[in-house]
Amino acid sequence: MSIKKKILIISGEESGDMYAADIIQNFSEKKDISFIGMGSHKMKNTNAQIIVDSSDLAVVGFFEIIKLYPKLTNALNTIKKTIKDIKPDLIVLIDYQEFNFKVAKYAKLKGFKVLFYISPQVWAWRESRIKKIKNYIDTMAVIFPFEKSYYEKYNVKAIYVGHPLVESGLYKKYDLKNGRYIGFFPGSRINEIKKHVPLIKKTIYEIKKKYPNEKFLISKSKNIDISFYESYFREEKNVEIIERDNIYETIEMCKVALAASGTITLQLALMNIPMCVFYKVSYLTFLIAKLLVKTNFISLVNIVMDKRIVKEYIQNEANGENLSTEIIKLIEDKNYKKLMVEEFIHLRKKLEDEPSKISVNELIFKML
């Protein structure tokens, strides 16, 4: 009889939760492997044992994190105790870097194997984190081809496993001919949504001046209570709050989109939805980020292609007038929209044409 292998898997944000759930599902038929971990609603729908609910632990910003510090400390202590008690055969950390680096440090001190999936963007900002990665991580499972060569410069073991959105191919299953809505994707973290939703309301107000009968949808994350959105849009006509387990079902409803910087920008591009990107944080967080960030762009679409394909509006530039003007241009200017979609096709081809030699699931099995 084989001994059951135990994998501790930790994600702290919505995209990581999605990737973790995919990994667990792919191992679901292997009765000799069990998963224990920290995750949110998607991981809850798997056979993993959830020891920490991360639904309200997602945060962005240097100062915003202070409010969550007690909860994060409790979560970290729970994870450490679990490592000590169950002695996992492998620890899989997904994104959520600051928290997961602390887990990795503890795990390595105790002699456990650590795989880090979805690399922190050290090539864009805070390159000093390379030292932590070298000291605490056994293997980096990277999702962009250029990341492998970047890490190899620093003698960090990195395996290219392909981007999970591209590897899944889910975006290929949808018909995009009937999108009728202007879609708004404000993010999944409560502190970013609090800044973004009022801005979305102003943008809708500006668009309705020219197109009073336009239809709008706002994509709602499961970890955000519907009452928050209703407080802003209850009286608004032609505005629907949409929550789907599969984000592509929401994207399929859109003809153009406004998205907060994050994984969603890549998902929209894979579906050829013309978009613009925005983001707002606290003023102090923005000032610090300006000093630390080396990349010229904030959206994954522009970063991967290393040029501006979609317009980005950050902080003061992210206002109702600018965003509505760009959305209206995307609706009216067919040539502008056509050129953007052509770039999305190049992006998709670039990611699809560089297949990984090993999947993240195969890498996990190999490390076990």
- Domain borders along the chain are 5-165+354-367, 170-352
Q: What is the pLDDT of residue 120?
A: 83
> Dihedral angle at the C-alpha atoms of 105, 107, 109, 113, nearest 10 degrees?
-110
Q: In the numeric block, which tokens belong to residue 4?
A: 């059951």
Give, to the nearest 10 degrees, the angle between helix 190-210 and helix 226-233.
30
The whole model's pTM is what?
Answer: 0.85
Do 48 and 23 form a contact (C-beta atoms < 8 A)?
Answer: no
- Which residue in 260, 217, 263 sits closest to 242, CA to CA? 217
Decide if 5-165+354-367 and 170-352 have a common fold. Answer: yes
Query: What pairs with residue 160 in β-bridges?
Result: 142
H helix or E strand, kind and range, residue 77: helix 69-86
pLDDT in tens, 112-148: 999 999 988 776 556 778 888 999 999 999 998 888 9
In this prediction, residue 245 carries a pLDDT of 86
Which amino acid, residue 355?
A: P
The pLDDT score that the predictor gives to residue 1 is 44
Written as one letter, the residue type at 188 is S
Q: Which residues of the chain have pLDDT under 50?
A: 1
Contact present, 27 and 361 (Cβ < 8 Å): yes
CATH 1.10.1660.10 fits 170-352, yes or no: no
What would the DSSP string read from start to end of 17-43?
HHHHHHHHHHTTT-TTEEEEEEE-HHH
Determine the pLDDT at residue 218.
97
What pLDDT, on the 0 to 100 scale, is given for residue 283?
A: 64
- Buried b / exposed e across 176-200, counting CB within 10 Å, b at 16+? eeebebbbbbbbbbbbbbebbbebb
Distance CA 250, CA 33 (A): 34
Q: State the chain's mean pLDDT as an integer.
A: 90
pLDDT of residue 223: 80
CATH architecture of 5-165+354-367: 3-Layer(aba) Sandwich (3.40)
